[in-house]
Amino acid sequence: MSRWGIVILSIYLIAAIGTPIMSHLGLLPDPNYGLANPIYSPPSLNHWCGTDRLGRDVCVRTLAGSGVALQVVFFAVILAVLFGVPLGMLSGYLGGAADRVLVLIMDTLYAVPVLLLSVVMAFLLGRGIPNAAAALCVVYVPQYFRVVRNQTVQVKSELFVEAARAIGANPLWILRKYLLRNVIASVPVLLTLNAADAVLVLGGLGFLGLGLPESVPEWGGDLNLALSALPTGIWWTALYPGIAMFVLVLGLSFLGDGLESWISDTSKKAQ
């Protein structure tokens, strides 16, 4: 499974890096500018996936959407890790009133459906790649917080942690030396699964018109524009962005399953 995930993700990375370079060199059409004619052209040798309502090449725009999706999802998930993991460790280790307040806040955010919370954050922050990444970041911070905090609470009761606290070791040193490496194992799996989910959430925001500007090649926004053309038999403007989104989610899910199996096998061998 993980091999398929790596292969799929590699293909998307190549598309994300290569498409803007080839467009800049004139080897591919610009994904943001259409042709005067033909508009809504079906797939052909000149335009493998057809053209949209502005005459833009659907194939090139779908390939360029890989870079936008990976960029937003990468920053969103990494920011969520950078905020959620330290907060979870500190909350679980320190306990007390601060822990109760943080747990209350994170549980409240976690209780809100992912898409609804992302819609609210996108509405508050506005459109654009940084704002979309920030909106998705807020959605996933509670997940890392909950997982890391629960594991920290378990690990801090171990004898080696109690011994370090008894000799007066610095709490930050204990967190870094003993707790971090014990609670971090589950983060890579959660990261890949959240990345897969984030692709769908970003697509949902774009489909609702709350994602990125129309000039940015983004799959959800393109699906939104394609919706009005479907009843007239223009299927290609919706098919290819939908397939691209589905395959990327599938690849990230494969990668997450592979990482989970590898971590589980490594833990069993260590025992």
Q: What is the pLDDT of residues 217-260, one digit of tens each?
A: 999 999 998 988 888 889 999 999 999 999 999 999 988 888 87
Q: Please state the pTM of the whole predicted model.
A: 0.87
Q: Could you say which architecture CATH assigns to the domain 2-6+46-270?
A: Orthogonal Bundle (1.10)
Q: Report which DSSP code applies to 54.
A: T
Q: What is the DSSP string of 166-226?
A: HTT--HHHHIIIIIHHHHGGGHHHHHHHHHHHHHHHHHHHHHTT-SS-TTS--HHHHHHHH
Let me know the angle formed at the C-alpha of 98 by 93 and 102, rounded to the nearest 5 degrees.
Answer: 90
CB atoms within 10 A of CB 51: 27
State the Cα–Cα distance between residues 126 and 210, nearest whole angstrom. Answer: 8
Spatial CB neighbours of 99, under 8 Å, sequence gap ≥ 6: 91, 92, 149
Q: What is the pLDDT of residues 105-127, one digit of tens each?
A: 999 989 888 888 888 888 888 88
Q: Residues 38-46: what's their mean pLDDT?
A: 84
Provide the residue ranges of all domains of the chain, joining segments of one domain with +. 2-6+46-270
Confidence of residue 31 (pLDDT cuts 50, 70, 90): confident
> Is the confidence at residue 265, as pLDDT, over 70?
no
Radius of gyration over alpha carbons of the chain, in Å? 22
> Is the confidence at residue 267, as pLDDT, over 60?
no
Confidence of residue 39 (pLDDT cuts 50, 70, 90): confident
> Is the confidence at residue 2, as pLDDT, over 80?
no
State the Cα–Cα distance between residues 86 and 50, nearest whole angstrom. Answer: 48
Instruction: Fill in the amino acid letter for 257.
Output: D
- Average pLDDT over all residues of the chain: 86
CA-wise closest residue to 117 among 150, 139, 93: 139
> Is the confidence at residue 269, as pLDDT, over 60?
no
Helix spans in 25-95 (H): 58-94
Confidence of residue 186 (pLDDT cuts 50, 70, 90): confident
Helix spans in 95-128 (H): 96-111, 114-125
Tell me the two tokens of residue 58: 């659907």
State the Cα–Cα distance between residues 234 and 225, nearest whole angstrom. Answer: 11
pLDDT at 228: 84
CB 131 within 8 A of CB 75: no
Tell me the two tokens of residue 8: 């799929």
Lowest mean pLDDT among 15-29, 144-158, 214-228, 255-269: 255-269
pLDDT at 248: 95
Confidence of residue 264 (pLDDT cuts 50, 70, 90): low
pLDDT at 271: 47
